Amino acid sequence: MNGDYRVKDNYMNVIDNIFSLSGKTAIVTGAAGQLGGEYVRALLGAGANVAALDIRPDNSKGNLKEIDSERLQLITVDITRRASIESALEKVLTHLGTPSVLINNAAIDAPPNASEQETGPFETYPESSWDVMMNVNLKGVFLCCQVIGGHMARTGGGSIINISSIYGMVSPDQRIYEYKDKPFFKPVTYSVTKSGILNLSRYLATYWAKNNVRVNTLTLGGVFNNQDNVFLKNYTDKVPLGRMAKQNEYNGAILYLASGASSYMTGANIIIDGGYSCW
C-alpha cells in the first residue's frame, strides 16, 4: 500500500514539475475573448504571472473582471500598432517581469451579423474587408512576434503559441451555410490569414531555435457558443466526435505548449478539432 502511495506521489510531482509555470510571465493577446479568458485562467492556475492584452479589455466574453489575482494585469493594446505593443511590453516588464510565454490569440472573424458583402460571393468580397482582417490576424501576430518574441529571443527564450483554425488547414465547407436566408459564404480572408499563421510559426521556429524560443501553432476546431440549431447539426455532422468543442477544451494544449512539457517541440502544429480534418 505504502509503495502505491509513493508511486502516486512521485507521479504527481512529475506532473506538477513539467507543467508548472510558476515564476514565469505569460502574455495572452485577445485575452478578453471567449477563449482568451480560458487561457488566462489556465495560465494563472499553473502559477504564471499573466498579462491579458486586448483592444477591448472590458469585452465580457472572457469574464476577466471576475478574476481576483495579483498575478494578473489587464492591458489595453491594439496589436495592429507597433507602438501600442511596445508600450504594453514596457508595462509587462515593469509589473510582471520578463515574458517567456506569448500566446497570439487575438483575431477577428466575420460575425454572424456581418454585412452581406462580407459574407457574399468571393467575386465581390470587399478589398477593405481583406485589408482589415489581414491587418489584425496576420500583421498583428507578426508585430507581436517582432516586439515580444524579439524581446524573448534577447532575454533567454520562451514559448510562442500561435493560434490557427481548421479553416486555415482545409477550406470551409460552404454547404453547411446554405440553409441561411441569404447567400452566406465563410469569407476567404479568415482562411488565408489562419494558413499564414502555420508558416509564420515554422519560419520563426527555425529562425529563433538558437535563441531558445520555441514557436508552435495550435489549430482549433469550432467552439460551442450558442450557435443556431441548423448550423450546429450541419457542423457537428462533419465532426467524428459529433459535437463542437467546449471552451475549456484547449487549455491542456495551452499548458503543454507553454511549459517545459513540450521542451522538444518547435515548428509543430497541434490540431484539436474532434477529428474534423481527418475525413
- In the bound state with ligand NAD, the residue whose beta carbon lies nearer, of 224 and 260, is 224
Count the Cβ atoms, other than its own, within 10 Å of residue 113: 6
Residues forming contacts to ligand NAD in the complex (CB under 6 A) are 29-30, 32-36, 54-56, 59, 61, 77-80, 105-109, 136, 140, 163, 165, 220, 222-223
Cβ-contact 62, 32 below 8 angstroms: yes
| Shortest distance (Å) from residue 202 CB to ligand NAD | 18
Closest to 141 in 3D by CA, of 129, 149, 151: 149
- Cα angle 61, 219, 104; round to 5: 55
Cβ-contact 223, 163 below 8 angstroms: no
Exposed / middle / buried, residue 12 (Cβ in 10 Å: 0-12, 13-18, 19+): exposed
Using alpha carbons, list the distances in angstroms from residue 158 to 43, 85, 116, 150: 14, 18, 42, 11
Cβ-contact 42, 254 below 8 angstroms: yes
- In the bound state with ligand NAD, the residue whose beta carbon lies nearer, of 205 and 220, is 220
| Shortest distance (Å) from residue 254 CB to ligand NAD | 11
| Shortest distance (Å) from residue 9 CB to ligand NAD | 37
- In the bound state with ligand NAD, the residue whose beta carbon lies nearer, of 12 and 148, is 148
- In the bound state with ligand NAD, the residue whose beta carbon lies nearer, of 18 and 272, is 272
Identity of the residue numbered 15: I
Grid cell 450557435 is found at 227
| Shortest distance (Å) from residue 79 CB to ligand NAD | 4
- In the bound state with ligand NAD, the residue whose beta carbon lies nearer, of 35 and 213, is 35
| Shortest distance (Å) from residue 206 CB to ligand NAD | 23
Identity of the residue numbered 79: I
- In the bound state with ligand NAD, the residue whose beta carbon lies nearer, of 30 and 158, is 30
| Shortest distance (Å) from residue 228 CB to ligand NAD | 14
Closest residue by beta carbon to ligand NAD? 33
- In the bound state with ligand NAD, the residue whose beta carbon lies nearer, of 160 and 163, is 163
Q: Rounded to 5, what percent of the chain is helix, strand, coil?
A: 50, 15, 35
Q: How far apart are CA 86 and CA 102, in angstroms?
A: 14
| Shortest distance (Å) from residue 16 CB to ligand NAD | 28
- Report helix, strand or coil for 208: coil
